[in-house]
Amino acid sequence: MNNTIIKTDFNFPGQTDVYKGKVRDVYTLKNNKLVIVATDRLSAFDVVMPKGIPYKGQILNQIATKMMEATRDIVPNWLEATPDPNVAVGQACEPFKIEMVIRGYLAGHAAREYKAGKRMLCGVEMPNGMKENDKFPEPIITPATKAEQGDHDEDIAKEEILKRAIVSKEDYEILEKYTRDLFKRGTEIAAKRGLILVDTKYEFGKNADGEIVLIDEIHTPDSSRYFYADGYRERQDNDEPQKQLSKEFVRQWLIENNFQGKEGQILPEMSDEYIESVSERYIELYEKITGEAFVKSDISSIETRIENNLMEYLK
């Protein structure tokens, strides 16, 4: 259980800056290069849990890498290499300060808002008469402002984004098109694996040439929700919960333990047994999403392994 990486303190050749996100640590190097280390940190309700999940960083990094390669023909992306199971290297970009969230089904945050009586989400109307996990007539885009460290992401309407000039109209239209095209491809990939891509988020930035590129992760269980396709219809008809692949099971566990990241709430203790079960779920996610067996990397000394692999790559 102790063999996880939950914090990093590297000093790579040519390093100029470092930013610690909820899950990833981003090192900026000279020559416009980024080194992103996917740690084993687990975040839910915008709160980072105190213990790491074995192999989680490797799983997220390797799924994101495979999905970046599988969508490169749709949209250019930042990724250049993955010299270590937990590490991605690519071009530094200026990120747009919004996340492009796209939803094919009424689930998660959208379902919670719907249950509270709301029928508008980010300026998009949700039809009456839906029940949780029903499919929308068409996927809806519900953007969120990109939170600074520790803050909550917030829903925002397209009109508000344009009004506040967070993104220009011209760029936003490109982001919308890329978001729909990526979701369509993600849906097709998921269907081949017997899965339904329920909702996901994409992040974009501009590279040094001013080109819009896909950044961060894509179609991972941290950024996406998946249902098992087999039995989906029967479960809906019988008002049963859907069998899903995402970190929603962690959110549900926290909700059951009276925690949703709200002020005054106390984070429940995660036992070693629970952490091991979360790790096993992430491995299951990897194998279902990619259709490949998960190969555990050597975790006897993750920091040393990363450092050695990066130094070799940067030579």
What whole-number distance in Å separates Cα of residue 233 and Cα of residue 69? 32
| Cβ atoms 195, 188 nearer than 8 A | no
Tell me, yes or no, whether 115 and 84 share the same domain: no
Tell me, yes or no, whether 192 and 59 share the same domain: no
Count the helix, strand and coil residues of the chain and give each as a percent rounded to the nearest 5. 30, 25, 40
Predicted confidence at residue 146, as pLDDT, reads 77
Tell me, yes or no, whether 100 and 229 share the same domain: yes
pLDDT (tens digit, 9 = 90+) per residue, 240-273?
Answer: 999 887 777 888 889 999 998 888 899 898 899 9
What whole-number distance in Å separates Cα of residue 197 and Cα of residue 224? 7
Tell me, yes or no, whether 137 and 238 share the same domain: yes
Range of the domain at 154: 96-204+216-245
Tell me, yes or no, whether 102 and 29 share the same domain: no
Structural domains in the chain (count): 2
| Cβ atoms 249, 285 nearer than 8 A | no
Predicted confidence at residue 104, as pLDDT, reads 98
Tell me, yes or no, whether 32 and 80 share the same domain: yes
Q: Is residue 252 part of a domain?
A: no
Using 50 as the pLDDT threshold, list the residues of the chain that sit under it: 1, 150
β partners of residue 203: 215
Predicted confidence at residue 82, as pLDDT, reads 97
Q: Of 97, 100, 86, 87, give the one whose Cα is nearest residue 33.
A: 87
Q: Is residue 287 part of a domain?
A: yes
